[in-house]
Amino acid sequence: MSVKVFDTPEDLAAAAAGAFAEKAAEAIARRGRFAVALAGGSTPRSTYEILARDYAGAVDWPRVHVFFGDERTVPPDHEDSNYRTAREALLDHVPVGSVHPMRGELPPEEAAALYVRDLRTFFEEELPAFDLIMLGIGGDGHTASLFPETSALGVTDRMVVANPVPKLDTTRITLTAPVLNAAREVLFLVAGEGKAEALKEILEGDADPREYPAKLVQPPGGPGWMADRAAASRIKES
Ligand code: 6PG
């Protein structure tokens, strides 16, 4: 798996915005729409801000349909909400065709079931074929809300689950590995020294995926990786 390494988080964010725009143009040209699942957490915020600032006229936004890889069990206006992050940084600024938030304010099992219905309504395929799923990783190797040693890791028969995360004393709503692996493209954005050990283990180690769930993400052709120099500091740069 090759990793594109950028000197700074800002360079990473600019490159990720460019990649998003390229992939959107390709999907829209081929299929008339771009179905993307956005990454949560803090890393992608600057990418979303750059898209809103520099790509307002360069992306056919009404043909872009926005989903989420995971969500915290909080209301949509909560500071921890992945939807709020995306709304503030991007969705309030560009006229996307549709936005599909996970309903973090609802009981998580109900939110997961609603999201399955939302996916089934939007995608004709049995398994959603996202044009792009953007993901991050935690220092513990989690991705989306697939955390080490949690029940969601082994789920193969459901697309979205409520996933209790004891170490965070919370439950998250998350796409499961089969959906991540059905994507046409997956792009990981990784920044900061705190991710260096996990990134090395995911890309070069032989630890069990249950310990580093990002290893479960193996779409056809493998995922793409974009990292800043700090996060890539322990890998053999490609
Ligand atoms: C979330 C994300 C999660 C995130 C990583 C990295 O809801 O938190 O989906 O998987 O991508 O935890 O988060 P940071 O970008 O904040 O380091």
Per-domain residue ranges of the chain? 4-166+183-213
C-alpha span between 218 and 224 (Å, rounded): 10
**Torsion angle, CA of 186/134/136/114, rounded to 10 degrees?**
-110
Question: Helix or strand or coil: residue 189?
Answer: strand
CATH number of 4-166+183-213: 3.40.50.1360
Dist CA 23 CA 185 (whole Å): 9
Q: Which amino acid residue places its CA nearest to atom 15 of ligand 1?
A: 43
pTM to 2 decimal places:
0.98
CA 119 to chain centre: 16
Q: Which residue has its alpha carbon closest to ligand 1 atom 2?
A: 40
pLDDT by residue, tens only, the chain of 238 residues: 689 999 999 999 999 999 999 999 999 999 999 999 999 999 999 999 999 999 999 999 999 999 999 999 999 999 999 999 999 999 999 999 999 999 999 999 999 999 999 999 999 888 999 999 999 999 999 999 999 999 999 999 999 999 999 999 999 999 999 999 999 999 999 999 999 999 999 999 998 999 999 999 999 999 999 999 999 999 986 5
Q: How many angstroms separate the alpha carbon of residue 111 from the centre of ligand 1?
A: 19
* Nearest residue to 194 via CA among 230, 148, 145: 230
CA of 145 to the centre of ligand 1 (A): 8
Q: Which of 103, 109, 106 is nearest to 70 (CA)?
A: 103
Prediction ipTM score: 0.98
What pLDDT digit, counting tens, does each position of 21-31 carry? 999 999 999 99
Q: From atom 11 of ligand 1, which residue's Cα is the shortest distance away?
A: 136
Residue of 82, 147, 168, 187 with the most ligand 1 atoms within 8 Å of its CB, for mutation:
82
Q: Whose CA is nearest to atom 12 of ligand 1?
A: 138
Mean confidence (pLDDT) of the chain: 97
pLDDT at 177: 98
Give the residues surrounding ligand 1 with Cβ less than 6 Å away: 39-43, 69-70, 82, 136-138, 142-145
Ligand 1 mean position, distance from CA 144 (Å): 7
% of residues, the chain, pLDDT over 90:
96
Structural element, H or E, at residue 175: strand 170-175
Give the distance from CA 188 to its chain's centroid. 7
43 CA distance to ligand 1 middle (Å): 7
Per-residue confidence (pLDDT) for residue 236, from 0 to 100 = 87
Q: Is the Cβ–Cβ distance between 128 and 158 less than 8 Å? A: no
